[in-house]
Chain A
């Protein structure tokens, strides 16, 4: 099934807290899982990505955790800042295809 289910739809976090966004998929042929960040009125930008043979990838305050057996992956934003307030999309690439399937998005608000 060519779907990626993302939750929650919206998230409010206090400055300095941890933001966690979850995604789940059914298609075991997905071979690449990127996260995108989108600010209002702008196009999404690639934030961080992971392959299914890796369980965790960290870049600065952003970490992807990947659970292949559960077919789930999540984005953790440590020490969340007001500047992180944006919409976040998870995505997955069907193996052998040059396209991405996106989740529904999570609107994150970090309050000072």
Chain B
């Protein structure tokens, strides 16, 4: 079955440590995204990538880094510079060009990161 796999589902880290969240898709989608979800704040865009070896900052990129070395993979690193990293992180992808009807994302099931 095609889809997006995020791992792990739950992740615990000590304050001051960097941590990398995995996102893999087998949908052959060009564009991939990372969103952060906090209660009452909706989904906020961290980074997105339109093609391999290229990515753009979203609205809350500070304290995060990404890479896009392969079409299938878009890992997110939460660095120690991120002031409040505890959140639910969602990865998404799309193959539909912006102008097309039924444009939409396919989301993974998320990773819940808790920093203690």
- Residues of chain B within 8 A (CB-CB) of A45 are 107
| Interface 9-residue window, one of A13-21, A60-68, A100-108 | A100-108
Secondary structure of the A contact surface, majority rule: loop
- CB-CB contacts of A51-89 with B at 8 A, as 1s and 0s? 100000000000000000000000000000000000001
Interface size counted on chain B using CB atoms at 8 A: 28
Q: Mark B53-72, 1 if CB is under 8 A from A, else 0.
A: 00000110000000000000
Chain B residues with a Cβ under 8 A of chain A: 4, 31, 33, 35, 40-45, 48, 50, 58-59, 90, 92, 94, 97-98, 101-105, 107-110
List of 3 A-B pairs having minimum Cβ-Cβ separation, nearest first: A43-B107, A46-B104, A102-B43
Interface residues of A (CB under 8 A from B): 2, 6, 9, 31-32, 34, 41-46, 49, 51, 89, 93, 95-105
